[in-house]
Amino acid sequence: MINANWQSLQQHNNQRKYIVDKLIPISFQSGLSELSGAAKPSLDAPTTSNMQANYCSVGYIDFVNSTNLIHSIGEQKALTHFQQLFVAFDHETQKYNAHRVKTNGDQYIFVIGLNQNIDDGTNCKTQAIDACKLSAALQGIVNSSPYYPDLNCRIGIGSGIIYAGVINPAHPNFDIWGETVIRAARLEAYAQAGEVLVDKNTHQLSESDIKFNALNKVELKGLGLTEFSSFAHSE
């Protein structure tokens, strides 16, 4: 009986750790007192000691016409389809050593380079190229949907310093912050259906491998005049 209980507890702990590892990168789990069995910290004193600055490439993907799809085929069928798309997205994300930060309704956010030191730029180019290639792969998944082109997506990519971590271990939720993150989100919102927009940093880092259109400028909320470029996924 003791062995059976121990095995059950061990299985529960392994399952719990598996879920935590999927939600929060291992390098950001220090300070999560719930994992170590320590007393839960006060909600009045959020811990930010595990916040890290990294040079990363961030991608924002948002579906276009998802509301129309829900009205057309029904909520349950649409939800099942989005789940299938997100599972396929996760599979591609893992190929590029990217981390899915979160989904927000019909939005999907990924980041590449969480373990990249801000003073070490050797991998920045690879990260930016991979972010572009991953975005093209995700667009390709959407293009393969039986509801395409009525259901489409738009993508924004930003490269630069971000801040990542868990704000409050008492209610752990991994997230990313910073102007690079905002820039990627603003570019996604500005993009047209089927379009991938990248900021100037991403363009400069990956133009040797990715065929971009010429740099352009747009006024983005909170960021002012911002240079960006675009490339289209080849079907």
Q: What's the rounded Cα separation, in Å, for the pair 176 and 166?
A: 9
Residue 162: give its domain's CATH number.
3.30.70.1230
- Per-residue model confidence (pLDDT) at position 29: 67
Here the tokens at position 171 are 């209610």
In a domain, 23, yes or no: no
Q: How many residues does the chain have?
A: 235
Here the tokens at position 100 are 């899915």
Q: How many domains does the chain have?
A: 1
CB 101 within 8 A of CB 83: no
In a domain, 9, yes or no: no
Nearest of 173, 176, 189 to residue 222 by alpha carbon: 189
Q: What's the rounded Cα separation, in Å, for the pair 20 and 29?
A: 9
Rounding to the nearest 10 degrees, give the CA dihedral for residues 17, 18, 19, 24. 80
Give the domain extent around 198: 42-232
In a domain, 80, yes or no: yes
Place of tokens 């082109």: 149
CB 36 within 8 A of CB 16: no
Low-confidence ranges of the chain (pLDDT < 70): 1-50, 116-122, 169, 232-235
Q: Quote the pTM value.
A: 0.82
- Per-residue model confidence (pLDDT) at position 59: 98
In a domain, 139, yes or no: yes
Q: What's the rounded Cα separation, in Å, for the pair 38 and 2?
A: 25
